[in-house]
Amino acid sequence: MTNTAPSGELHAIIMAGGSGTRFWPASRAARPKHFLPLADGTSLLQAAVDRVAPVVGAARTWLITNPVLARSLDSVLPDFPAAQVLVEPEPRDTAPCAALATALVEARHPGAVLAFLPADHVIAPQERFAALLQRAHALAAESGAVVMLGVRPTHPATDYGYIERGAPIDGAQPPAYRVPRFREKPDRATAAEFLRQGTFLWNSGVFLWTTETLLAAMAASHPALHASTRAMLAAAREGDRARLDRAFAGAPKTSIDYAVMEKAPRVVVVEADLAWNDLGSFAALHAVAPPDAHGNVVSLHGGARALLEDARDCTVYGEGPRAVVVFGARDLFVVAVGDAVLVCPKDRADGLKALVRRLPEAGLGDLL
């Protein structure tokens, strides 16, 4: 296989749905992680849009999100064209969402190559990312494979999915490999072994396909999903939104990784030598606001102030006209945003997602 020019234009679809549990109380149902001001004051969503623009151009950048977030997009992305915002009628996990976006873009731009990108990840440097996306575009256009970006691991992470890299596709750069298998979040020992072997990459959540590739993969891996996707495509081509929504509502609720990637006959991974972080929790904030000499990470917005005295390895996130004073503490998260304050030792951050789920039964459901 040679690295020829792509046959289809590249379109970027930024997946900007999602709930706000991981960064609660900074993130809320109507204000997910990628809406938050981070570090330089812009949002992760804005950064995601800016990241793909040099490669695909503004006219071929799309968002897919839920109806609630679609209404408040203006607050974080005031210049984004409304016609390029795709709305997922209800949450049905990632497979129906990706199929819906594929149908909607394919109907308007037949034969396009679609790159799906999470809205809420930190990725650097920009130039290297652009080169990776171009390489993935070429592969997706010509190989008939689902193409993924796999990030070279820097530590034995247990909270990421891993992609094993197999035989190289060709000698071109950045390198790309066949994918013999996927491994979901491994235990610590397995993650360490993956790192030692050097043949496992983190699943970045970035993937590319053509409609043809997607349908072929689904036909092999998930016939019901295949049927739903074909119905969505037909409805989209006819511009029948009601029928499209019905087809979406009837699609199996499943993840794209489980339903497609892990079973597709042809999956290719481009090895990405990137600084990448999915900001899965406040623990990852150091990726956007580096720690000071005492290991403290402080992220303040909207007039917030903070004083950390004799504090070490604490992470403070504040928004709004208030001050957070942390004295004598070690390894704490302190988040003060709007009408909620959260205090949690860092080593308990794993439990926050479940805690936030329990807020309604504690009478605090209005804070979600």
Which parts of this chain interact with its own copies (CB under 8 A)? 25, 305, 307, 309-310, 321-329, 332, 334, 336, 338-345, 347-348, 351-352, 355, 358-359, 362-364, 367
Q: Which is nearer to its own copies, 162 or 333 (CB)?
A: 333
Q: Which is nearer to its own copies, 95 or 352 (CB)?
A: 352
Scan for tokens 């709004």, then name that residue.
320
Instruction: State the nearest-atom distance from the C-beta of 352 to its own copies, in Å.
Output: 7
Provide the 10 A C-beta neighbour count for residue 219. Answer: 15
How buried is residue 218: exposed, middle or buried, by Cβ count under 10 Å (0-12/13-18/19+)?
A: buried
Instruction: State the nearest-atom distance from the C-beta of 159 to its own copies, in Å.
Output: 18
Q: Which is nearer to its own copies, 28 or 60 (CB)?
A: 28
Q: Which is nearer to its own copies, 171 or 363 (CB)?
A: 363
Instruction: State the nearest-atom distance from the C-beta of 296 to its own copies, in Å.
Output: 12
**Can you tell me the distance from the alpha carbon of 318 to that of 176, in angstroms, rounded to the nearest whole number?**
41
> Cα dihedral sign for 295, 296, 301, 307?
negative
Q: Which is nearer to its own copies, 59 or 341 (CB)?
A: 341
**Can you tell me the distance from the alpha carbon of 367 to that of 247, in angstroms, rounded to the nearest whole number?**
33
Task: Name the token pair of 140.
Answer: 């997706």
310 phi-psi bin (left φ>0, alpha ψ -120 to 50, beta other): left
Q: Which is nearer to its own copies, 41 or 363 (CB)?
A: 363
How buried is residue 40: exposed, middle or buried, by Cβ count under 10 Å (0-12/13-18/19+)?
A: exposed
Instruction: State the nearest-atom distance from the C-beta of 280 to its own copies, in Å.
Output: 17
Instruction: State the nearest-atom distance from the C-beta of 334 to its own copies, in Å.
Output: 5
DSSP string, 243-273: HHHHHHHTS----HIIIIITT-S-EEEEEE-
Instruction: State the nearest-atom distance from the C-beta of 293 to its own copies, in Å.
Output: 17
How buried is residue 278: exposed, middle or buried, by Cβ count under 10 Å (0-12/13-18/19+)?
A: buried
Instruction: State the nearest-atom distance from the C-beta of 292 to its own copies, in Å.
Output: 15
**Can you tell me the distance from the alpha carbon of 136 to that of 269, in angstroms, rounded to the nearest whole number?**
8
Q: Which is nearer to its own copies, 46 or 296 (CB)?
A: 296
- What is each CA distance from 156 to 165, 194, 197, 200, in whole angstroms? 17, 8, 11, 11
**Can you tell me the distance from the alpha carbon of 220 to that of 94, in angstroms, rounded to the nearest whole number?**
18
Instruction: State the nearest-atom distance from the C-beta of 347 to its own copies, in Å.
Output: 8
Q: Which is nearer to its own copies, 54 or 320 (CB)?
A: 320
